[in-house]
Structure 1
Amino acid sequence: MPQLLLNDCSHVIDYTGFLDSLKSGPLAKWRHPISQGLEQRLDSLQHGDLERWQASLDKLPALTHVEADMSSGVSLRSDQTLSEEAQDKLTEGLQGLHPWRKGPFDLFGVHIDTEWHSDWKWQRVSPHIDLRDRRVLDIGCGNGYYMWRMWQAGASMVIGVDPNLLFLNQFEAVKRYLPSAPVWQLPFTLEALPEPSDAFDTVFSMGVLYHRRSPIDHLLQLKACLRPGGELVLETLVIEGDESRCLLPEDRYAQMRNVWFLPSVPMLERFLARAGFSDIRCVDLNRTSIEEQRSTDWMRFQSLPDFLQPDDASKTLEGHPAPLRATLIAVKPGP
């Protein structure tokens, strides 16, 4: 079974449990291609910081009797008392996985104050969805923060895909303490997954669509992953306006080069309808504040306050409207 062993470091991410869970059920046909894909992907992994990230993971203390509380965030506790040396190593190991973008996390007394207050977004989105006993796919899952919240909300299985290796190591910093949790992160892109399975009850795509050159193709790929009657949760950057309005930045948007289409909400609803979704509704529209996204001791690079005009926070440095994010829910029609 595929195991992730990077740069001859001692730490291993073992996918045996995940592949065993695919032996039966709607995802059974994924088992062989996923196994092959993991072996090929893990054999080819290269990144100059891998050794440092793995060494950081190795500093995290081995703990038993771990309790997870995901009710208001991602929090882990243990009945073991950490020595001062162990607490220092825990902090050092987690800091070694800088920068932390999504969160926050509270791990055995260490509060990871991430760039994003992702808990605020989850508070806005979660009242509109029911994940009980649902098989969930999270596209562009980052370090897995939302996946843990999805599990806490009752999902029977959560699979996330993200090719970023730092995010994979950050996910593993939590997963190693919850090995039996049905939450898994795969170092893939959406395109690298096997043929669509129509197997997921809920698919999330949050903060991904505006990075896609072809938004309709992305929506069609997401729809192909859903069972008939399954639900898409789509969160993306938008602009104000009617169904004819869409922003295509000439170069950068808030200093990001890989931003393509920022439609209005009515145009985004049309995108979803043209892709074959039904029951489309916008459940949240929120202007991102500099309190929700900012630099911290755990993400020391530039952040949103640096990407807005100093004398007019309603515009980006390029003169575009400041980030406005919409969350839409849509359904894949039944047969």
Structure 2
Amino acid sequence: MANPLESKHIAPLYRAITLLDRLVEKGCASFGYNNGVQIYSESFAMPLVDSRADELIALLGGADELEWAKSLVLDKSQVPRQGKESCVLDVLSLLAWKLKGWRKGPFTLASPSCSLHIDSEWQSYMKWDLLAPFVQIGGAKVADVGCNNGFYMFAMYAGRKAESPQMPQSPQKIVGFDPSGLFYCQFAWLNHLLDLPIGYELLGVQDLPAYVQRVGEKFDVIFCLGVLYHRSDVFATLKSIAQSLETGGIAFIDTLIFDINDVASTLDSSIAGLPLALSVRGSYAKMSNVYLLPNLSALEGWCERCGFESVEVLAIVPTTTQEQRKTRWIDSLSLENFLDPNDSSKTIEGYPAPKRAYIKVRRK
């Protein structure tokens, strides 16, 4: 299989990330979590005084691109920094811009005098804050399947805060799985600054059992957030997760569902309680890689048939434009473009608008 880091678009970005140690030391920053991941270092405000960053800047488009990227960086008085001497954060902002689109986040890089806010498409802290009270990962071996740029893994390592005691303790080990070269580069850029002991495999959920066999140990907790509805074989997906968990291990799953109540007026009451799934034709909310949206009964049945027990529904939440929306940090469309412009309770195709179920299941 081709290495995604060697593709024409990704290769120069990945090369730039490997040159970051010329700009800032690995692990130069501290971080915390509060409605996003905040990364802090005094070194971000350091001026560029020599040629150490020249090759990195050239890979990203040169001095003109760097000058434009200064508009992304704000000083403490919230005045755009255009026209001033370049600093380390200007180069980091240029790299962040080239790493679009930022789907998970947000992330903020800050020093005493300047900051950069990456306003991602998804306000992912809303999902994490929903899950965190149910999560116990202190000392556990954890996998995040479909981890994107690692936002949830960074949130896990932020650990318990005094003002937010429901935040879970940090895990013993955490490994992210995602086959996207772009998302890996976003993660690698951020983790260069933090140097956290987080693994990242350019693999999909179908590769979990082979990975577990290769390393010789299973996981205690697996997160599978926003993945299931993108898989045409949901049973194989759920079995891969179950097979990769220790007996009694926990999986947290979030998936789009088909809520019978949204179409109850058109259904006979005698079938409303049956395990049903919406089989998508063509696309759902302009996503062509969405296949099956189960109701809760069907989702519970799928999990039970694939090796899980004790299916606990944590929440059912409609997706809103507060949680998912277009920002300058993505080039694609977002939720407001996927809904019927005359009826926001429906997708552009006429299906019920997105609604997610969050469940916690235990491996038998």
* TM score, norm. by length of structure 1: 0.82
**CA distance in 1 between partners of 2:242 and 2:34 (Å):** 29
Distance in 2 (alpha carbons) for counterparts of 1:300 and 1:59: 25
5 Å matches for 1:178-189? Answer: 178-179=194-195, 181-189=196-204
Identity of aligned residues (%): 32
Q: Which residue of 1 aligns with 2:336?
A: 305
State whether residues 141 and 174 of structure 2, in contact with CA within 8 Å, keep that contact through their aligned partners in structure 1. Answer: yes
* Cα shift at 1:268: 0.4
Residues 111-148 of structure 1: per-residue CA shift (max 9 Å, x gap): 10000000011111111111111110111111111111
Match of 2:242 among 199, 220, 223: 223
Matches within 5 A, 1:21-32: none
Amino acid aligned to 2:144:
D
Q: What pairs up with 1:195-210 in 2 under 5 angstroms?
A: 196-197=212-213, 199-210=218-229
Of 321, 324, 331, the residue aligned with 1:293 is: 324
Cross-structure match for 1:330: 361
Give the structure 1 partner of residue 264 of structure 2: none
**2:133 aligned partner:** 127
- Say if 2:283 is the partner of 1:252: yes
What SS is found at the alignment partner of 2:193?
Answer: coil
> What is the Cα deviation at residue 45 of structure 1?
4.8
SS in 2 for 1:217: helix
Aligned to 1:165: 181
1:212 corresponding residue in structure 2: 231
1:62 corresponds in structure 2 to: 24
Would the aligned equivalents of 2:28 and 2:194 in 1 still touch at CA under 8 Å?
no
Cα displacement (A) at 1:191? 2.7
Which of 85, 90, 93 pairs up with 1:91?
93
Residue 155 of structure 2 is aligned to residue 136 of structure 1: no
Equivalence for 1:7: none
The structural deviation recorded for 1:54 is 2.8
Of 264-273 and 191-200, deviating more is 191-200
Contact 1:254 1:318 in 2 (8 A): yes
Aligned mates of 1:190, 1:263 — CA distance in 2 = 19
Q: Which runs of 5+ in 1 are unaligned?
A: 1-39
How many angstroms apart in 1 are the aligned matches of 2:242 and 2:288?
Answer: 27
1:74 aligns with 2:37: yes
SS state at 1:213 partner: coil
Query: How far has the Cα of 1:41 moved from its partner?
Result: 6.1
> Over the residues paired in the alignment, what is the CA RMSD in angstroms?
1.9
Q: Say whether the 8 Å CA contact 1:151–1:183 is kept in structure 2.
A: no
Counterpart pick for 2:154 among 133, 142, 148: 148
Q: Which one is further off, 218-227 or 241-250?
A: 241-250
SS at match of 1:95: helix
**Normalising by structure 2, what TM-score?**
0.76
Task: Tell whether the 8 Å contact from 1:100 to 1:299 is kept in structure 2 after alignment.
Answer: yes
Contact 2:143–2:223 (CA<8 Å) still a contact in 1? yes
Q: Quick one: structure 1 residues 92 and 195, their matched pair in 2 at CA, closer, same or farther if it must change by over 3 Å?
A: closer
Aligned equivalent of 2:7, options 47, 55, 79: 47
Q: Helix, strand or coil for the counterpart of 2:298?
A: helix
Is the contact between residue 114 and residue 298 of structure 1 (CA under 8 Å) also seen in structure 2?
A: yes
Q: Secondary structure at the match of 2:297?
A: helix
Task: Verify the 8 A CA contact 2:121 2:324 in the aligned structure 1.
Answer: yes
Aligned to 1:20: none
- AA partner of residue 88 (structure 1): D
Aligned residue identity for 2:90: D
For residue 330 of structure 1, give the secondary structure of its aligned residue in structure 2. Answer: strand
Q: Does the aligned pair in 2 maintain the 1:59–1:92 contact within 8 Å?
A: no
Instruction: After superposition, give the CA deviation of every residue in 1:206-255 in whole Å (9 maximum; x if it has no partner).
Output: 11100111111111110011001100101110011234321111110001
Q: How far apart are 1:312 and its partner, in Å?
A: 0.5
Q: Which one is further off, 58-67 or 72-81? A: 58-67
1:315 lines up with 2:341 in the alignment: no
Q: Distance in 2 between matches of 1:104 and 1:92?
A: 17
Contact 2:105 2:120 in 1 (8 A): yes
The alignment covers a number of residue pairs equal to: 292
> Which residue of the partner structure matches residue 112 of structure 1?
118
What secondary structure does 1:250 align onto?
coil
1:142-176: CA deviations, max 9, x gaps? 11111111223311111011110000000011111
Q: Secondary structure at the match of 2:352?
A: coil
Aligned partner of residue 252 in structure 2, secondary structure: strand
CA gap of 1:276–1:192, structure 2 versus 1, over 3 A, is closer
